[in-house]
Amino acid sequence: MPPLPETTLPHRFSLNIASLPQFGNLSHNEAMRTNALLLSSLLATATFAQSTKLQPEAIVFVCEHGAAKSVIATAYFNKLAAERGIPQRAITRGTNLDPVFAPKVIAGLPTLLTAKDLKSAQRLITFDVNPPAGLPLVQRLEWNGTPSPGANLAGSQIEIEQRVRKLIDDLAAHKK
């Protein structure tokens, strides 16, 4: 098969589609759906990051590598928020970036969680990680125990989507 073309995203973002992660025991179709979700989230996050600075009402999703759970949550959140007219938008961050995965996926993403990310954030949602000490205090939700997408993609997606839907419902209720 010939190599896939490099896709250029807005501004400095560049993605080699062939470098998207391979998820262990998934069928080809499941892996393609997962990579499509990750790619759509990366594109949405890149577009959002380029179109606006972090808004005061941003939601920050954080997992260890900033490459799976937080990416899936960000994709669902931004899609559902736009559909429901919720002004908040999400970004994805990590606390311990994978040195092999990060450069291959996209320049600038995943990104390490910093104080700047939380300065204007409304909520911090973590997946089985603690944010580094010394960061600004933000309302934090712990979504611990979410299945790993590499081990249980369907279970991970279902649980994350359910939690994101509840979060969107809560934000919509407070918007009124």
Domain count, the chain: 1
At 33 the pLDDT is: 61
Q: Is residue 1 part of a domain?
A: no
Q: Is residue 164 part of a domain?
A: yes
Kindly tell me if the per-residue pLDDT of 30 is higher than 50: yes
Which band of pLDDT confidence, cut at 50, 70 and 90, is reported for residue 128?
A: very high
Q: Is residue 158 part of a domain?
A: yes
Percent of the chain with pLDDT over 70: 60
DSSP-H helix ranges across the chain:
28-51, 69-84, 101-105, 115-119, 153-175
Kindly tell me if the per-residue pLDDT of 25 is higher than 90: no
Cut 0.75: pTM above it: no
Q: Is residue 40 part of a domain?
A: yes
Phi-psi region of 135 (alpha: psi -120 to 50; beta: other; left: phi over 0): beta
Q: Is residue 121 part of a domain?
A: yes
Range of the domain at 25: 6-175
Kindly tell me if the per-residue pLDDT of 105 is higher than 70: no
Q: Is residue 114 part of a domain?
A: yes
Which band of pLDDT confidence, cut at 50, 70 and 90, is reported for residue 27?
A: low
CATH number at residue 32: 3.40.50.2300
- Each residue's pLDDT tens digit, 50-103: 444 445 468 999 998 887 899 899 999 999 999 999 889 999 888 987 665 544
